[in-house]
Amino acid sequence: MNQSFYRYEPLNSRQRMSLLLIDEIPDRVVVYPLVSSHAAAVAGMGLLEYVTDGKAMARAQVAALRRYKHDAVSIFSDVGMVAEALGSKLFFRDDDVPVLQQPALDSGVAWQDLKLPDAESLPGRYSVYIDAIASCQREVGDVTPVMVFIPAPFTTAALLRGTEDFLVDTLLDPAACHSLLDLSLRAALAFTDLCIDAGAVPMLVDPLASASVISPQVFHDFAEPYLRTFSDHLHRSDFDVFLHICGRSEPILEGILKTQCDLFSCDDIPMSLCRNNIGARTRIIGNLRPTDLLQDDPGTIRRKVADIMAAGKDNPKGFVLSTGCEVPILAPQENVLAFVEEGRKLGRYWAEEL
């Protein structure tokens, strides 16, 4: 990408993120709204094309990057990617992201019958992500981090069994749950390694491990150990671990720290509370409500960004201004622009003129 894209700032996005990850102070706060499928709307693209064509996904991500000038692109469509490769069926539509249609363990199939896919053969839609990562790397990777969202084991296992049945199994058949989680972990690790080889930085996403869905005890017993193993794997490859969990996280903050993540992307929790509880021990990413981007006006967005920045900017371990979850597909573009512009303005650590 032409460096003139960043002509008003002393650092590009890769440099800014790199400083954050080595505990140095960058020129400003990293501003990273979770623009995933919303990029298709920016590019005037149907969702079906976006989630099934990696080159189209990359075009949309680059279009959104040029529109908003945020600090990373996000390779992501839905949390069913790994479950689909293991046999779950998704329902595809052109006006929204895919949803689970049939879990792999429906119709009497047992978890023992599931086979670990050969990641190198790019099962399911793996090739969509690999193509998107490679295309984004060629187009903007010299100056912009290319993030890829990886479904974590708890969420994948739930999509293999069916969410309600899996949650019941945590009580009635925990051994089967752990077997399914181990399979999900191994599949996700293999997929993650492919994405890393293609040039992406992984972010683990575990929406069904939220305290809005499960109890702290279930998180401790069934989500935390597999996230910690995932973290160990990434740390051995010298990657900082990004972890995103949707919904409420206050009851599981200590468990989140035990996963050994280096950056926690929070959703439904006051930024001040998150900072006060774990901000001295991990970097925090967050956390404007996605519904605010959908419903508010730009002026209100700017005021809310200011509130989040006041609470998070000086977090002891570092801070990334983001959205609490994905930017809604139909969010007005002027609202996303207001979010990024206000974050860039209020997030400066260095003097404006060097």
Give residue-wise pLDDT tens across range 291-325.
999 999 999 999 999 999 999 999 999 999 999 99
Lowest mean pLDDT among 7-11, 283-287, 337-341: 7-11
- Tell me the C-alpha distance between 204 and 245, whole Å: 8
Q: Is 104:91 a contact under the CB 8 Å cutoff?
A: no
- CA 179 vs. chain centroid, Å, equals 25
Which SS3 state, helix, strand or coil, does residue 44 take? Answer: coil
Q: Is 20:320 a contact under the CB 8 Å cutoff?
A: yes
Lowest mean pLDDT among 208-222, 235-249, 305-319, 340-354: 340-354
Query: What's the pTM value of the predicted model, to 2 decimals?
Result: 0.95
| Correct CATH for 3-346 of 3.40.50.2300, 1.10.3720.10, 3.40.50.1260, 3.20.20.210 | 3.20.20.210
Cα distances (Å, whole numbers) of residue 146 to 65, 86, 139, 324? 11, 25, 11, 19
251-298 pLDDT, tens per residue?
Answer: 999 999 999 999 999 999 999 999 999 999 999 999 999 999 999 999
- Structure-block tokens of residue 42: 């920016």
- Tell me the C-alpha distance between 316 and 282, whole Å: 8
Q: Is 96:47 a contact under the CB 8 Å cutoff?
A: yes
Cα distances (Å, whole numbers) of residue 38 to 56, 154, 326, 327, 340? 13, 25, 8, 6, 15
